[in-house]
Structure 1
């Protein structure tokens, strides 16, 4: 039993004089300091006490114990409680590590008159993490990738967060591709399991003229993808950016018309252009050239900005007796350079004009 140390009075006779008698001294002893790790989501209110605080001065008088700090006297109030006279500490509810990972409480022991019996002591309780949170994906803006891009082109990166304890398996997320919409059975994209980076799987597989965008569904699994890990899903839209990989084509191989001699500055005919690239872009906008039959500059050609048609204009008067029949060679290209095999201008057409 703890208490005062045993003492013996010694008397030593020196020259007929008694030696001094040693005075009894009380050894100071510390509080009993709990070392405790607590589980989150565990119903402690049905269990026994989790810790005990005690001063050995309770052998001399009745002591009264209280707890101070967040979780006791401060919000969340009375989550931790102590029995006033026994010093037994209980939890009245469940703990959530994501709300609070550590509780540092102050234990106080007082005599009946309210005076302190000991110095105050800090009681630390650490809440152990439980894998109770699924990955949550961070919204990302639509990604863009050029059509005809090579394999391993980086498309975008999608990531998820996990509210469980950082730098442990509970928050270690592994990524996988769940679905590609639309899909014809060909997987065009793949995802890095560790980083969430999305890449093109195959070369030259994207064709904006066939499909201009995709929706990818990504799954994140914590526990580094282990069976039984919590999962969450996120989506990302991938827009296919047009490149000039379709040459413009004239709607006919040959055209014919008639002009009135001795007139000028009039529209002769129009050329309609077919181009599968994205409308209203430089990949679609037509540029026309007269490559033959116009050595004297009799004609000019320009593009109608509204219809993208070629407008053939008569710039100089024509004398029927001198030139009853005129043959022009016309080619069409785009504002943007052609991307792909061959390059160069698009289709050409022949225009025949007869003066009359």
Structure 2
């Protein structure tokens, strides 16, 4: 732009565009006012701006008028007319005042602007084509050609605008309806109105025009379906929702408010079962539903709006009531056979059962069951009929009766069931033999028992019932030594108690074997037997009997012994026998009295009496020994023997200790040994003579009647009363030795056998009469 100077006589005019920048020179006052630049500072130039003093100033050195701050014409003047900045320039010495007008020229620096960004218009959908509607104008602070020139409307098939010019030159626009509106098709039309100024380049401003179409009641309510099919469970509680109807009306306001009602075609029964809410359109259950009673309901519902001229629509609803598994299955026992025999045949029918269910579909299909662990099974005969048959062998003794529970269950979800229990009793048959608790009875009976004493109760058991379990007991006959068992024992035929009929003696009868039979009373009867072993238990009822040394009269035995007997020599041997059992017959020996306890010893087990030392001249010539033999019974029994020993100085036969030899060998019965006591040193010839004499005596010498019995004699008198007898003993500590005296006999010595074995000691038969041979000597 160029600065134009307006020259007048009183006011100096300048015109400047408002877009001039800060610092731009407006005019050179020194030049324009013909002022001397050199004297400006001296004359104190001063610029007074009447208005808007902040925009202009004068350079005091050059006299140039320049812009201090960018000028906005619309802000400075705010008017559509011309815009001036008035200034006064004052010089001193002399004072001169200059008036200057600076005109601010407009530029198109502002776009048109609507007072509101959005313009709302309400147009009835019944408005006729061609109807006009005023729109707000846009304003532009620029002036002249830079102000609003015209208006434009966005494309629309329903609206257009027409621009008109006012008396003051302002531009106005009107909205014109091109065709009738349909609110239900388009309730709101969004348009854009644009205002354009005449500047170069042109500027524009826009506003949104929202046309709201006002409703008229020109649409009736409609349902989304003309026919509704609804399923509902029969057990639906009262008040439960069946269907929510939602009729729509494309109108608005009261024109779209809808009420619902049943039509005249809806039956009273349906209306009694279902309630229709007139406001919300909800259909709910009013009465109890029962599929088995009625399962299909038809209804017609009308929807009416609330417009001035109300319109309505309708729909049909079919409600299908679905079956609920609400009926328990039922069972009926048509026949039941009880009791039955326990030997009933397999596949025999014992019951017939019918089942049913009022429900339908899966809810009405039923199944019948019995427990899996029973010997029965179900067979389906016809529809809903079952037969209960025997599938396994029955045994009354194991299970006397069965509680059979019939359970019927439908296939609904959840399933329902019913049950009934019947008791099947089993009749007994005689199919079990009597049973003894043991297969073998060992009964110990103490000897000397009282006749009739109870020995044992041999009761058997029969699991059958009634007469099939009534038992009779008998002893199976067996003879022993021409004696029947029934003479020795008796059994109670009813309770099986066994009694002894006699008193038993262990030393005579030690055991019995027989059988007892138990027989039931069934038809046919069944029986079983058990083996009985009677053992007679020994009592200590026999005292020991001393069989050696033999006592002819009384209990005193006299023996002679040389005083020269060595230490450890056998003086005598005491033998006692006890006919009781092993335990009671075990014998031990003890001294009751002894003249000198230091001279003799007694073996407590074999009864041997030996010297503990040699006799001295101080020892008495006569010794008295009292020996007791005790058995092992409780209480213990005993026997005693007294031995009187006399020592002598004369030579006597020498006897050696008894030596045990095998049974097959005998020793010489007339062996008499004489011991010769020599003192000092004897010549060899005298010794030979003595030896020859001893040998001759052993072969030829005959003992006189007065000869003393040997100290090793077991039986000292010839008239023994126990010869030719047999003795039995089981004592493990005894020697198996039996000595018997005969007129013509030999000494028999048996070897001992192992402990616990039975020893039998027997004698050689004794002869009669005397003989003069050497064999007639007393045997030892």
- Same fold? TM cut 0.5: yes
With over 3 angstroms needed to count, the CA separation of the structure-2 counterparts of 1:35 and 1:63, relative to structure 1, is: farther
Counting only pairs closer than 5 Å after superposition, residues 330-345 of structure 1 correspond to structure 2 as: 330-336=627-633, 345=638
- Residue 40 (1) aligns with residue 342 (2): yes
- Structure 1 Cα separation of the partners of residues 526 and 500 of structure 2: 27
Which among 121, 128, 133 is matched to residue 427 of structure 2? Answer: 128
Go from structure 1 to structure 2 and tell me whether the alpha carbon gap of 1:116 and 1:126 turns closer, same or farther (over 3 Å shift): farther
Note closer, same or farther for the CA distance 1:261–1:164 as it changes in structure 2 (3 Å cut).
same
1:176 to 474, 497, 504: 474
In structure 1, the residue matched to 2:451 is: 151
2-side partners of 1:29 and 1:322: how far apart?
120
- Cα gap change, 1:227 to 1:97, in 2 (>3 Å): closer
* Residue in structure 2 matched with residue 15 of structure 1 by the alignment: none
Of the three residues 604, 610, 625, the one matched with 1:303 is 604
1:214 aligns with 2:505: no
Q: 1:351 to 1:209 in 2, by over 3 A?
A: farther
State the distance in 2 between where 1:231 and 1:300 align: 66
**Residue 234 (1) aligns with residue 530 (2):** yes
Q: Normalising by structure 2, what TM-score?
A: 0.34
Q: Is 1:63–1:109's contact at 8 Å kept on the other side of the alignment?
A: no
1:85-129: CA deviation from partner (whole Å, max 9, x where unpaired): 233333245422233322233324567989979722223212211
Q: Check the 8 A contact 2:573/2:608 in 1, yes or no.
A: yes
1:80 pairs with one of 377, 382, 391: 377
Question: Using the alignment, how far apart are the partners of 1:87 and 1:180 within structure 2?
Answer: 61
Kindly tell me: are residues 90 and 228 of structure 1, through their superposed partners in 2, closer, same or farther at Cα, counting changes over 3 Å? closer
How far, CA to CA, are the matches of 1:106 and 1:331 in structure 2? Answer: 85
How many positions carry a matched residue from both structures? 305
1:181/1:214 contact within 8 Å kept: no
Closer, same or farther: CA 243–320 of 1 in aligned 2, 3 Å: farther
Give the Cα separation in 2 of the matches to 1:258 and 1:63: 121
CA separation in 1, counterparts of 2:365 and 2:463? 42
8 Å CA contact 2:451, 2:501 repeated in 1: yes
- Unmatched tracts of structure 2, length 5 or more: 1-292, 294-328, 552-556, 650-780
Once the two structures are TM-superposed, the CA of residue 315 in structure 1 deviates from its matched residue by 5.1
| C-alpha RMSD of the superposition | 4.1
| Separation in 1, partners of 2:577, 2:523 | 54
Question: Residue in 1 aligned with 2:401?
Answer: 102
Q: Which moved more, 1:107-116 or 1:144-153?
A: 107-116
Write the distance in 1 (CA, Å) between the matches of 2:414 and 2:340.
Answer: 32
- Structure 1, residues 268-299: CA drift from partner, whole Å, max 9, x if none? 232222222222x2x2122445567x445554
Aligned to 1:244: 540
In the alignment, the residues of structure 2 paired with residue 75 and residue 50 of structure 1 have an alpha-carbon distance, to the nearest angstrom, of 14
Quick one: which of 480, 488, 505 aligns to 1:188?
Answer: 488
* Per-residue Cα deviation, 1:205-224 (whole angstroms, up to 9, x for no partner): x222333222342211223x
In the TM superposition, residue 351 of structure 1 has moved relative to its aligned partner by 5.8
Q: Matched residue of 1:134: which SS?
A: coil
Instruction: Confirm or deny: 8 A CA contact 1:109 1:116 kept in the other structure.
Output: no
Distance 2:641 2:339 in 1: 82
1:272 pairs, out of 564, 569, 575, with: 575
Q: Is the 8 A contact 1:245 1:338 kept in 2?
A: no
The structure having more radius of gyration, on CA atoms, is 2
User: Could you say if the C-alpha distance between residues 275 and 105 of structure 1 is closer, same or farther in structure 2, counting changes exceeding 3 Å?
Assistant: same
How much has 1:180 moved relative to structure 2? Answer: 5.9
Q: Aligned pair in 2 of structure 1 residues 112, 240: CA closer, same or farther (>3 Å)?
A: same
**Equivalent residue in structure 2 for 1:346, among 639, 647, 652:** 639
1:146 to 1:74, Cα distance in 2 relative to 1, 3 A: closer
Q: Is the 8 A contact 1:222 1:230 kept in 2?
A: yes
Query: Does the residue aligned with 1:126 lie in a helix, a strand or coil?
Result: strand
Distance in 2 between the 1:89 and 1:115 partners? Answer: 27
- 1:36 CA drift (Å): 1.5
1:234-273 deviation digits (Å, cap 9, x = unpaired): 1232222111222222233147463544865654232222
Q: CA 1:113–1:241 in structure 2 vs 1: closer, same or farther (change >3 Å)?
A: same
Distance 1:161 1:353 in 2: 75
Which residue does the alignment assign to 1:6?
Answer: none
Supply the distance in 1 between the matched residues of 2:381 and 2:367 (Cα, whole angstroms): 5
* CA distance in 2: counterparts of 1:89 and 1:262, whole angstroms: 106
**CA distance in 2: counterparts of 1:130 and 1:114, whole angstroms:** 48
User: Structure 1 length normalisation: TM-score?
Assistant: 0.68
Paired residues of 1:80 and 1:90 also in contact (CA < 8 A):
yes
Q: What CA distance in whole angstroms lies between the structure 1 residues aligned with 2:604 and 2:457?
A: 42
Q: What do the CA deviations read for 1:132-163 (whole angstroms, capped 9, x no partner)?
A: 10011112663222111212333233332223
Question: In structure 2, the residue corresponding to 1:143 is in which secondary structure?
Answer: strand
| Map of 2:289 onto structure 1 | none
Secondary structure of the corresponding residue to residue 50 of structure 1: strand
Q: 1:119 to 1:197 in 2, by over 3 A?
A: same
> Which SS does the other structure have where 2:333 is aligned?
coil
